[in-house]
């Protein structure tokens, strides 16, 4: 299954050859085609699938090395790094996961991180939000209600809602985690069936309740309601992955 990425543009220019090569190699690594410890194929091996110059290949390898996906050692060559070395919170690495088949464990990891982070962000947003912040959050919510379920405009509005919550925290360190949250949200929205109106309606209610708490400047209530929203989203996503999912029995409660 492939999932379209609606998040912000990544740091790489997909029109540049080295960006295309980096993505090609990264997706193969993330999907397990190239496994940890294996030598990375050289530019000659890639030419059957994509036009690769030596310069573009070297630039791509530099990018993947900086993001922890590969490592170069003297006399050992460039090899795929173990997953624990990857910079999983890097916007490009998150984006590349959307080009590969969904990794159930990674989806759960994103949601667990979201469960820790986003309620605290909602608490701060409720306390610190400015009139402009509130207007941005309200506009995003209206975008969710004014467009059809699961339409591109609706998905973008949902992402904008959570981005606006993080912006309202006035905390630049927390805002760096926005890409993690939007990645987790997309797995829920884009893995869901477009005719699943029940989840969509329930999700709207969850978002409205968070918005109400932010309007009231009630930080504890905003955190509590955001916690419920995240738990509902994770459990819905795991349910979609099916009863045979390896993570189905580990729902967050």
> Is the per-residue pLDDT at 177 higher than 50?
yes
> Is the per-residue pLDDT at 247 higher than 50?
no
Residues 6+ apart with CB under 8 A from 141: 157, 161, 207, 208, 211
Inter-CA distances, 21 with 53, 80, 87, 107, Å: 10, 15, 18, 25
Q: How far apart are CA 169 and CA 226, in angstroms?
A: 14
CB count, 10 Å around CB of 13? 11
Residues 6+ apart with CB under 8 A from 189: 150, 155, 158
CB 202 within 8 A of CB 117: no
Express the helix, strand and coil content of the chain in percent, nearest 5 each: 65, 5, 35
Mean pLDDT across the stretch 177-198?
A: 77
Q: Which residues is 39 bridged to in the sheet?
A: 79
Among 17-21, 119-123, 129-133, 188-192, the minimum mean pLDDT is found in 188-192
pTM: 0.82
User: What mean pLDDT value characterizes the chain?
Assistant: 86
Q: In this predicted model, which residue has the larger pLDDT, 235 or 244?
A: 235
Q: How far apart are CA 250 and CA 253, in angstroms?
A: 9
Convert the pLDDT of each residue in 32-90 to its tens digit.
999 999 999 888 877 777 777 888 888 999 999 999 999 988 888 899 999 999 999 89
Per DSSP, the three-state class of 85 is helix
* Residues found in the chain: 253
Inter-CA distances, 64 with 13, 25, 228, Å: 14, 8, 37
């Amino acid at each position: 299954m492939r999932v379209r990425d609606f998040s912000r543009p990544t740091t790489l220019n997909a029109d540049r050859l080295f960006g295309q090569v980096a993505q090609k190699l990264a997706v193969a690594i993330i999907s397990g085609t190239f496994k940890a410890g294996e030598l990375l194929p050289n530019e000659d091996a890639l030419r059957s699938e994509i036009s690769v110059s030596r310069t573009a290949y070297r630039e791509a390898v530099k990018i993947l090395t900086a993001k922890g996906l590969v490592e170069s050692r003297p006399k050992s060559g460039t090899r795929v790094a173990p997953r624990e070395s990857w910079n999983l919170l890097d916007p490009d690495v998150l984006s590349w996961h959307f080009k590969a088949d969904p990794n159930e464990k990674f989806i759960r990891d994103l949601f667990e991180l979201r469960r820790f982070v986003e309620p605290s962000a909602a608490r701060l947003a409720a306390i610190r939000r400015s009139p402009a912040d509130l207007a941005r959050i309200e506009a995003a919510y209206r975008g969710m209600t004014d467009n059809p379920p699961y339409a591109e405009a609706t998905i973008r509005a949902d992402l904008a809602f959570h981005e606006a919550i993080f912006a309202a925290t006035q905390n630049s360190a927390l805002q760096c985690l926005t890409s993690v949250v939007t990645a987790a949200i997309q797995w829920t929205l884009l893995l869901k069936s477009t005719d699943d109106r029940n989840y969509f309606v329930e999700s709207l209610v969850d978002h409205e309740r968070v918005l109400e708490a932010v309007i009231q400047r009630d930080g504890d209530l905003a955190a509590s309601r955001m916690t419920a929203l995240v738990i509902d989203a994770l459990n819905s996503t795991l349910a979609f992955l099916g009863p045979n999912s390896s993570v189905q029995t580990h729902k967050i409660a």
